[in-house]
Amino acid sequence: MQHQKVLVLDFGGQYNQLIARRVRDLGVYCDLKPFEMTAKEIKAYDPIGIIFTGGPNSVYDEASPRIGREILELGIPVLGICYGCQLIAHTLGGRVEHAHMSEYGRREFTLAKESPLFDGLPPVSVCWMSHTDLVKDLPEDFETLAFTQSCPQAVFGNEEKKIYGVQFHPEVAHTVYGNLLLKNFLYRICGARGDWTVKGFVSEEVEKIKQKVGSGKVLCAMSGGVDSAVAATLVYRAVGDRLTCVFVDHGLHRKNEPEEVLSVFRDGLGMNLVKVDAKDLFLNALKGVTDPEQKRKIIGKLFIEVFEKEANRIGAVDFLVQGTIYSDVVESGKGKSAVIKSHHNVGGLPSVVDFKEIVEPLRDLFKDEVRRVGTELGLSDEIVWRQPCPGPALAIRIMGEVTEEKLETIRDADAIFCEEIARAGLNKEIWQYFAVLTDSKTVGVQGDFRTYENVIALRAVTSVDAMTADWARIPFEVLAQVSNRITNEVKHANRVVYDITSKPPATIEWE
């Protein structure tokens, strides 16, 4: 049976992906789509409910995003959040005004009426506001459902038409009962059954892949990262030995990564996994190269060449598996073009492999869902919670020329950092963390000797989408332990520094 779907129309708000994730976490599948979708397209999509996200615009600006009134006449329940709620009021003949002052932060809101939207909510609770405009007069047949001191229409609605506007942000954690409000909208108002589960996804997807692949042959490039590992495991479950995975060992992986990939997927799961040993090839090509973009180009090009050679040995296949995930393809209301993964080690592959069709089993999933699918498939936390690693891997975490000796130093330092982060229970909280081998040498004293060795920089960031990031506030004791261990256990490192720069102005990686 096809699962139910909710449509989240994106008006450019900063929390748009968060809304979609919350809905999915509540067990209902949803897609984030540009606001330009027409009533006809929406009808064809057949959602059980529609959510309008917030956005930076004012409904009175000529150029601000609009919707056709027909969308509100489809008989499909609608929840408008922030800009989305102002848009409902404006479109249906209400009045939206510029407030004297913007309202940001925590506010108390009081329920004015009973509504299925409020099932289980206390009469007064805390919400998160972030707006300048506000709804002054409601459209005809709408009523006030909740208010705050400065916002008379904090929640309004028409119960019969099942159309609701919420001025605050139920999707952020600061709105204490926000999740319950969203749940009520989905289950009490849209009639959700909660049929979107990871278990259900796995069995549905395995069935789909079986149907699609039939008796065909499938090829997958495994990078060691989470997405390709989960994609390959899912396809393996569907087609078994007809899947061949190729893992290119370019010698730039993190500590024990190649060994782990082989032991988990080939020895453990029994996958048909070919490892190509191309270490010397990559290291020779990188000799004397110090420019980061040059390193990226060399690695990207070589990777494709090596993979092509291997694919030629395997011969023609019917399908190529790619670990593309939802955030790689989601179309946003801000920029309409789809963002395609620029990951070098999958981007160029389709052009060199002789295949008929691409299989992208994770295309609809957010990263946290990919991880849950991995766990459902029986993969360990080490694989599922593995740090994202850039395609060029450690080559861009070693400043300057890449050498065997430097690789060993950075591998050991990075492994210690990762171990201690996990030991402190922070590995599921911090978005990305790794060690960098800087090209600075400093004087130290180790034992009774003067040393002149490398500075290791630790980088750890919190982020939602890697577009912006903040440095993670790791407890000092954890940093102290990491520094202690690195300077004691790692060869050619005598100093450790912690990077406290956000993105922007810095990037997450150092190169």
Active-site residues: which are they?
A: 82, 169, 171
Nearer to ligand XMP, 432 or 438 (CB): 432
Nearer to ligand XMP, 343 or 495 (CB): 343
Position among 13, 251, 333, 392 found at the interface with ligand XMP (CB under 6 A): 392
CA nearest to 129, candidates 157, 156, 148, 142: 148
Task: Label residue 30 exposed, middle or buried (CB < 10 Å: 0-12, 13-18, 19+).
Answer: buried
The residue range among 25-33, 55-63, 71-79, 383-391 that interacts with ligand XMP, by the rule CB under 6 A, is 383-391
Polymer length of the chain? 511
Please report how close the Cβ of residue 381 comes to ligand XMP at its closest, in angstroms.
20
Please report how close the Cβ of residue 230 comes to ligand XMP at its closest, in angstroms.
17
The residue range among 253-261, 273-281, 386-394, 413-421 that interacts with ligand XMP, by the rule CB under 6 A, is 386-394
Please report how close the Cβ of residue 511 comes to ligand XMP at its closest, in angstroms.
8
Q: Give the long-range contacts of residues 405-412, CB within 8 A, separation 24 or more.
A: 405/492, 406/437, 406/492, 407/251, 407/252, 408/491, 409/437, 409/454, 409/456, 409/490, 409/491, 409/492, 409/493, 410/435, 410/436, 410/437, 410/456, 411/254, 411/255, 412/255, 412/486, 412/489, 412/490, 412/491
Longest alpha-carbon distance in the chain: 84
The site map against ligand XMP for 283-312 (x = CB under 6 A) is -------------x----------------
Please report how close the Cβ of residue 228 comes to ligand XMP at its closest, in angstroms.
12
507 binds ligand XMP (CB under 6 A): yes
3-state class of 505 per DSSP? coil
329 binds ligand XMP (CB under 6 A): no
For residue 412, the one-letter residue type is: D
Position among 24, 131, 183, 343 found at the interface with ligand XMP (CB under 6 A): 343
Nearer to ligand XMP, 242 or 367 (CB): 367
Q: Is the dihedral of CA 137, 139, 140, 143 positive or negative?
A: negative
Residue nearest to ligand XMP as judged by C-beta position? 390
User: Containing H/E element for 16?
Assistant: helix 16-25
Q: What residues have CB less than 8 Å from 487, skipping those under 6 apart?
A: 444, 446, 493, 494, 495, 496
Position among 390, 427, 456, 474 found at the interface with ligand XMP (CB under 6 A): 390
The residue range among 30-38, 77-85, 130-138, 503-511 that interacts with ligand XMP, by the rule CB under 6 A, is 503-511
Nearer to ligand XMP, 132 or 387 (CB): 387
Residues that bind ligand XMP (CB under 6 A): 296, 343-344, 388, 390-392, 432, 466, 503, 507-509
